[in-house]
Amino acid sequence: MRKTSTLVIFWALIIIFTFFGCVNNNQTTKKPINITTSPVQYEYDVIVIGAEPEGIAAAIASARNGADTLLIEKRDGLGGLFTYGMLNQLDLGYDKDGNLANQGIFKEWHQIVNNRGAFDIEGAKEAFIHLIGKEKNLTVLLQANVQKVIKNGNQLVGLEVQDQTGLHTYQAKHFIDSTADADIAAMAGVPYFLGQEDIGLKDTRMADTLVLVLKNVDWNRMKMAAENGVLGGAEVYENMAWGFTDVINQYKPIEANTRLRALNIAKQFNNGLVTINALQIFSEDGLSDESRKEAMERGKRESINVLKFLRQELPGFEQAEIALYPPELYIRETRHILAEYQLTINDIWMNRDKWDSIGFGAYPVDLQATSVKGEGGYEKVITRPIQYAIPFRSLVPNEIEGLLVASKAAGYTSLTAGSARTVPIGMTAGQAAGTAAAISIQLHTDFRKMVKDRVPISELQRRLKLQGALLYHFTLSYPFEGEWFDQSIQQLLPYGVIQAGYENDLYVNEPITKIDFIELLSTTIKRSHPELYGQLIEDHQDLINNILQDDVSPYLTRDQMATLLLTIFNHMKVSQSPWEQLMKLKLVDKELEARLSSNREVLRSEGIYMVAFILNRLSNVSSYKVY
């Protein structure tokens, strides 16, 4: 009897422990004690603002390198774009040897979410909490809004923060702005430009997106539809899909300033929900709360129409429903701060290394549309680099001391941000910023001095490599290197007027069409010399139309190009020999004189060279100092 009772008790205990063990395994990660909504102290070595993935990486790196660190976040949780914008697809790049280009803290997080290109959103949040919970030098303050910056001259020394217990002043030796829009840098007086102002496009920025979150999607049925070419077909994998490009033309939006691009689709394993990054929303002001709210409501209404379209046109979505709406929009572009070094599109095109490299970028320069139609009405892939270096100088903002910016708003041109804004690169920059902040304190130096001194930069690079970052110096070739038109490409690239696509192919040996040459010339003038655009282009629209309407051939001949340039730039009667007339006026150089010795079709390489020559004549060649 006693033996039977003992066995009953034994098996009962096994069942109880097994049950509670299973329950515990299904629970979300317990919040570590270093994540709070109440102040713990008011003075730190380093304060990071913004618990976006970039800010989390910065805070962890700072703490790991011995700095007493505070991470301030206005939301009630971690993860920013990943968890509130619900963007759960990663833009991954790979270095010249095929290795994941962004490692270190990003790789640690990526391994926790199973090394996939798409991740479960709840799992991403838990992974961030897990990493933060291991850092004894790190405190996270949630639901805390920075109201004011405190400066001593141009040195940032403190923040006034409204947290859950009141208004408090927090002080630190160094600060890292990892807010998505460089809010702290802007408050402190760091100079910046908005959107694509740096290439002459005022009030122009990439589209916002409301990620669609759907349930009841039949993934296998969708995969079969893709294989059968429905809506142009797609590449479909275990939990990711790209394509269905025909939606661009077939889908008809109901809301103004919205449209659907090709579908980027991801499936979550934990709950089966499917997210789609495709709905583009165009609004004037990405910094205005009112504008964001209006865009969000417009996006919600349009999402219902998108769902209706998918149910009718894409097998696998017949029973789909909207599961929920993300709390926030995916805002691709607002501020770009001016830094000690502005990383340029030529740095990416030419696969450049930097002496102060803190990591790599290797993702294509992918510029989303900026308007429903017209010049900005389509996606542009400028280039697909092998790899390029992110310099520490691009994290050091101009004019304000004691501050680094580690986010998509760092010191990149708007074109460069088409690649460098991606989160894996941002987390690499964040890790470098946190590490640099700790080193600066330990070496009794500041960021402005660091960018001129190889000793602290060497120490920064040493520690980054020691702590898992992929970092080494390299020398690589680049497309069309050494060609006679190489410099011409470099002169035009910074204006965003030529795109080489994923294959880095400019089709230089093919004839250029009239419309392509005129568009290249007019867009270059508009962006480089907007005050002359009306005089040079708009005032000669009749001539341009006459050339375009010549239906003998769509391709531009040498003499047609000469006639166009003579009329635009000299306002004079064109002779029977326009090319000779152009040469006498020195509106063409010896290189093209020799190459275009007969009146034949102009090659794309020659068209690029000619427009770059005109750009030089307008005395508006834009360049950044390169080391």
| Ranges of each domain in the chain | 1-30, 35-203+332-478, 208-324, 490-617
Strands (E), 58-165: 69-72, 138-141, 145-152, 155-163
Report the distance separating Cα 13 and Cα 19, nearest Å: 10
Q: What is the mean pLDDT of residues 60-79?
A: 97
Q: At what angle do helices 604-617 and 514-528 cross, to 10 degrees?
A: 30
pLDDT of 156 over the 70 cut: yes
pLDDT of 376 over the 90 cut: no
pLDDT of 416 over the 60 cut: yes
Q: What are phi and psi of 159, to 5 degrees?
A: -135, 140
Q: At what angle do helices 53-64 and 104-112 cross, to 10 degrees?
A: 120
Report the distance separating Cα 237 and Cα 235, nearest Å: 7
- In this predicted structure, what is the pLDDT of residue 5? 44
The CATH-assigned architecture of domain 35-203+332-478 is 3-Layer(bba) Sandwich (3.50)
Count of residues in the chain: 627
Q: Is 129 helix (H, G, I), strand (E, B) or coil?
A: helix
Distances (CA, A) of 348 to 197, 384, 610: 20, 8, 24
Highest mean pLDDT among 2-6, 250-254, 544-548: 250-254
Strands 43-49 vs 166-177: parallel, antiparallel or unpaired? parallel
Name which residue leads in pLDDT, 30 or 521.
Answer: 521
pLDDT tens track for 571-589: 667 788 899 999 988 889 9
Nearest CA to 445 out of 379, 520, 372, 392 is that of 392
Q: What are phi and psi of 169, to 5 degrees?
A: -105, 125
- In this predicted structure, what is the pLDDT of residue 24? 34
Report the distance separating Cα 258 and Cα 281, nearest Å: 5
pLDDT tens track for 2-15: 444 444 443 443 33
pTM of the model: 0.91
Q: What is the mean pLDDT of residues 249-278?
A: 96
pLDDT of 296 over the 50 cut: yes
Report the distance separating Cα 87 and Cα 110, nearest Å: 15
- In this predicted structure, what is the pLDDT of residue 539? 81
- In this predicted structure, what is the pLDDT of residue 39? 82
pLDDT tens track for 281-293: 998 789 999 999 9
- In this predicted structure, what is the pLDDT of residue 489? 98
- In this predicted structure, what is the pLDDT of residue 625? 32
When pLDDT is cut at 50, 70 and 90, the band that residue 30 belongs to is: low
